[in-house]
Structure 1
């Protein structure tokens, strides 16, 4: 008799876990839908609708070369992006503990904003759900096991805002018309292969050093200081490669990002775009 009851209890536990998993996915998806609706509702009118190569006259030479390389005269200006990613995320700051992830992301170029919705596999059958978001001038991070149990949550502090706007600027290599002066980016000369791009949104201003490869495309980005939390700011860097033409724009399909420690760079993200779709200004 006791074996029968153990079996019944085991089945009930499995059913409860299954129901909790389904509920967690449903609740997380509802939160995702609300975030992305707010992003869409916050959109601003984009002008101009098309890129005119006269716009880059007077910019630093490597920046002019970059725009001549990745977009052509008459390219429609990107208004929104939807993409899918897969890759690995390092969950440890002291050792390599790489876990696979999949993610979708929506980006609005004006007003700058994005939502990255990821599933990081902690163990087989156990995922961490992550929202990394920049919405209407505020940055936030929310991580939850199974979409039910919050393990990290940060929102709206100036340090969050700075970090997420830096991410938007770095990832503009996937939507390069957002790097044009008409879209709010100011460019300063550094040398023959690099320049500093600066973007302001509301009360937050961020800058990145962009280094360009021999073909003129973005090879690396670097911020002198990006906040990891409310008190710690460190140099932050990324690298892009595997360039391919999408909707007339030359964009990288692979990238990696990390923090620069005194002993060297420790990567925490390695990802590849598996699908990308654009909406253009109209």
Structure 2
């Protein structure tokens, strides 16, 4: 019996060590993804001039005039620090966990959202990118390993195109693969095409151009049937601040089935800081309002 328990102890210890190394490998992959995306920042970006948006629909012109101050270097890669709530349940029982996360956003190439969330003794951590979704329970037990397929990539593309509206408006200025069209007097639609994938996002703006809400049809399996299909996703933006010449929301709530009674804002974020990797010292100083 003693030999049995000794063998069992050895096996448990070996499994724990193996899981620890597996978790460290995920951390390394996360850091590598962040470095890869940060390296996509333009070295010497142009500066914003209203002439760049003259051909756009009026709501889109309002949006850019509000979100990018004249003369701002047009950085397209951002690092966003946030806290907030992450819902694990549904509208009736949100099951929110306290969340903190760092995101690197480099539309149209990709993103990484590295987070940890907790409630009491429960702790979940991991990351979400255009290549994978990986989450761990208590830092040692893998509870989600997804990605590496066209469905996941298409769903992720919808997410980070929409988030570019929040945090990297310069990435959505007119150019190859980006088209804007009028929806109504206060709404513009941006369509991004990249490597054979296309995503349209609607942006509702206030009279001053402040983006109020963002919505789009997202390829998603976040439904009771767990089947990938197009379904409405969206949310609300508020509490704007200036970061390095960009006027960006510091409160974002978003969820599935936007605009319907089933809408559940599982993602509620308070943004503490947005910075633009490789920005010069003056730009970093200006990003702290």
TM-score bracket, normalised by the shorter chain, equals: 0.7 to 0.9
User: How far off its partner does 1:162 sit?
Assistant: 1.9
Say whether residues 1:242 and 2:239 are aligned partners. yes
CA separation of 1:25/1:108 partners in 2, compared to 1, >3 Å: closer, same or farther? same
User: How far off its partner does 1:230 sit?
Assistant: 5.0
User: How far off its partner does 1:76 sit?
Assistant: 0.6
Kept in 2, the 8 Å contact 1:81–1:278? The answer is yes
Say whether residues 1:55 and 2:52 are aligned partners. yes
The one of 73, 94, 101 equivalent to 2:70 is 73
Q: How does 1:9-24 map to 2 (within 5 A)?
A: none
Matched residue, 2:219 = 226
Task: Provide the C-alpha distance between the structure 2 equivalents of 1:26 and 1:90, rounded to a whole number of angstroms.
Answer: 26
Matched residue, 1:259 = 256
- The alignment partner of 1:50 has SS state of coil
CA separation of 1:274/1:99 partners in 2, compared to 1, >3 Å: closer, same or farther? same
User: How far off its partner does 1:40 sit?
Assistant: 4.3
Matched residue, 1:120 = 117
Deviations along 1:42-64, one digit per CA (max 9) or x if unpaired, are x3757862223211112100111
- The alignment partner of 1:215 has SS state of coil
Matched residue, 1:191 = 184
Count of matched residue pairs? 261
Matched residue, 1:87 = 84
Matched residue, 2:274 = 276
The one of 87, 94, 97 equivalent to 1:96 is 94
Matched residue, 1:3 = none
Q: How does 1:212-223 map to 2 (within 5 A)?
A: 212-223=205-216
Task: Provide the C-alpha distance between the structure 2 equivalents of 1:73 and 1:59, rounded to a whole number of angstroms.
Answer: 17
Kept in 1, the 8 Å contact 2:213–2:236? The answer is yes
- Higher strand proportion: 1
Task: Provide the C-alpha distance between the structure 2 equivalents of 1:258 and 1:26, rounded to a whole number of angstroms.
Answer: 30
User: How far off its partner does 1:183 sit?
Assistant: 6.7
Kept in 1, the 8 Å contact 2:38–2:104? The answer is no
CA separation of 1:268/1:73 partners in 2, compared to 1, >3 Å: closer, same or farther? same
Moved more, 183-192 or 61-70: 183-192
Matched residue, 1:165 = 157
CA RMSD of aligned residues (A): 2.9
CA separation of 1:160/1:25 partners in 2, compared to 1, >3 Å: closer, same or farther? closer
Kept in 1, the 8 Å contact 2:250–2:271? The answer is yes
Task: Provide the C-alpha distance between the structure 1 equivalents of 2:83 and 2:132, rounded to a whole number of angstroms.
Answer: 21
Kept in 2, the 8 Å contact 1:194–1:210? The answer is yes
Matched residue, 2:125 = 129
